[in-house]
Structure 1
Amino acid sequence: MKRSEFVRNSLLATGAVIGGGLSPAFSKERSIRPEGKPFNLNYGPHQGQFENHAGKNILDQIQFAYDQGFRSIEDNGFSGRSVDEQERIGSLLAKLGMEMGVFVLDKGGNGANTLAAGKQEHVDIFLNGCRQAVELAKRCGGKFTTVVPGDYARNLPVDIQTANVIEALRRGAEILEPHGIVMVLEPLSDTPNLFLRNSAQTYLICKGVNSPSCKILYDIYHMQRNEGDLIPSMERCWDEIAYIQVGDNPGRREPTTGEINYKNVFKYIYDKGYRGVVGMEHGKSQGGKEGELKLIAAYREVDNFMD
């Protein structure tokens, strides 16, 4: 279906109304919408991407996403929610048969709290985050938590920093592995101060940790900026990639707004057998309800790779 046709037809969605926190106005509104077909890949939207249609309530947004055909969500800030809200999110996801994608490990070595420095106080914060992740996963049914090792420790040789990161991650994996939780390491393009920058470096670290609880989060937006050559890069590291996120470049908005051929990339990861969450960690190119329709239409367009 062409994007213009999708927008004219407006929203695809309905299904059984799930209670436990959905606002009455939203429940009434959504009952008139036709059901949305699930996508070929399991795209996971973030809070706020559909708030113009669904409102501010995260449960309404989850229900709306389900109605559009999405079968997962991501919630980077899940650890900062109240226990009650965490449990209500987990309950709704379970009722709808949806998956929780990544949530960020609390204080997992970001910025100045760097695992590369080898300082015990930094490692302790990271390990406390791993223990917390076990409890968070129980509430939402998720099994992936994002870890960023933090900044370079520029007073140390790179190889020493790498050894420090591997040692800390091994200790974290010892906490997570008995519970089937996977910390996914995300190389980023936000600043050159970050220790973890490319897929080959992350691959080496995962091999060094040597645990099913330490794998790669391959964010296609960041990797396009840092290294390009996306499909060969993923192919080289595929056995350590456990999670994928997306965003087009430039701009970090929905697919079709930048230079990345997402239809080809999605066909590649589908043909590789990836059926996990594809996290929609990006903004929108247009505001309001029209921008949300445009986002949904973009995913319908690039998800049409089966022909």
Structure 2
Amino acid sequence: MYKLVIVDDEPSVRNGLRTFFDWSAYDIEVVGEAEDGDIALELIEQLQPDLILTDVLMPNMDGIRLSLALRSRFPHLKIIFITSYSILNIVQELIERYMSGYAFENQSGEFVGVVCIQAEEHKEDQLYALAEDVRDNLLRWLKISVTIGVGEQVNHLADLPHSYSQAREATDQKWYLGKNQIISMDNMKVHDENFYRFEAKENEHLLSILKSADSEKLSVVLIEIFAALSNNRREGIKYGSIVVQHKPASSRKQAYAGAEYPSSRNGRERAQSVGADY
């Protein structure tokens, strides 16, 4: 039979894992249990099991460090991680490692971290080290890429919504700068005063033109927007022209708006058309 060792710091979890499954039906025997990675390491050396069932987050030696130690000593071992570890766990743990603060899920897919910076010296280095660690750990352990926006520092709790708005606005720049990046609106303003941002008011203006079905005005506005956005990337941005279909009750009309874009290959080229109904 295959020999199994269960590693978890919660006694109830260890008991559940041991009794819930009919291990013998799979030709597996539970030969030992450990409440932490360092204890498990000694036990595994004694028992020489074939399988390890381990939690990730444990007090002294976590499951990741345990697995690294086991891989070098017992390359034949099969290691299975059992955990409810999530994005929020990783973010909160890293915040506590660098500074004090709190993380929460604001809405599906959006996580917000509020951090308290005690020392003014090297605060930006600390903040960016934290952001890089969050990004790299999520990619490493959960295989997901994230865009992290950083708002400016505020001195009063009442000003936190402003900092949050800046951080969220920064993440919106992923559509122009690419994903899996750390973006600070404050740094953009300092290092690139000509950086173009598509603001909410401009979006509302564009929607009003779309609803009016004024193709000439729409064409002018789109060309201006695409030209401004292309300056944000060295190689330009390739956007297609837009086909707007206006459907009044008595008839159906189509208004076409074309847009040109700069190309790194041969100057200015005409984009392909795409359609959009509204």
TM-score, with length taken from structure 1: 0.26
Largest Rg, 1 or 2: 2
Q: Higher strand share goes to which structure?
A: 2
User: Normalised by the size of structure 2, how large is the TM-score?
Assistant: 0.28
Greater RCO (CA < 8 Å, at least 6 residues apart) = 1
